[in-house]
C-alpha cells in the first residue's frame, strides 16, 4: 500500500465513516418525518380555514364584494 495504511486501518476508517453516515441519514430521516407531519397539519388547517371562509361567504353572499359605506 502506497499510503502506509494497513488493511485493518483502512477497514476501521471505512467503518467509522459508515457509522457517521448512518447517523447523518437517521438525523435527516427524522427531520423529513417532522416536516411531513408539519405539512400535513398545515394542510388540514388550510382546508378548515377554506371551509370556514366558504361558509361565511354563503351565509352573507355579496357582503364580501360590497364596497364599504364610506366610499
Q: Shortest CA distance to 39 belongs to which of 47, 50, 29? A: 47
How far out from the chain centre does Cα 44 lie? 14
pLDDT digits (tens, 9 = 90+) for 14-40: 999 999 999 999 999 999 999 999 999
Residue 46 domain-assigned (yes or no): yes
Q: Given this model, what pLDDT does residue 23 score?
A: 98
Cell of 63: 357582503
Host domain of residue 39 = 32-56
pLDDT digits (tens, 9 = 90+) for 47-69: 999 999 999 888 876 555 667 77
Number of domains within the chain: 1
**pTM, rounded to two decimals:** 0.61
Residue 64 domain-assigned (yes or no): no
CB-facing half-sphere around the CA of 34: CA atoms within 13 A: 6
Amino acid at each position: 500500500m502506497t499510503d502506509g495504511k494497513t488493511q485493518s486501518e483502512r477497514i476501521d476508517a471505512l467503518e467509522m465513516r459508515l457509522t457517521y453516515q448512518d447517523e447523518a441519514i437517521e438525523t435527516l430521516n427524522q427531520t423529513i418525518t417532522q416536516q411531513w407531519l408539519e405539512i400535513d397539519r398545515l394542510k388540514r388547517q388550510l382546508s378548515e380555514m377554506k371551509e370556514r371562509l366558504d361558509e361565511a361567504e354563503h351565509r352573507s353572499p355579496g357582503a364580501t364584494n360590497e364596497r364599504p359605506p364610506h366610499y
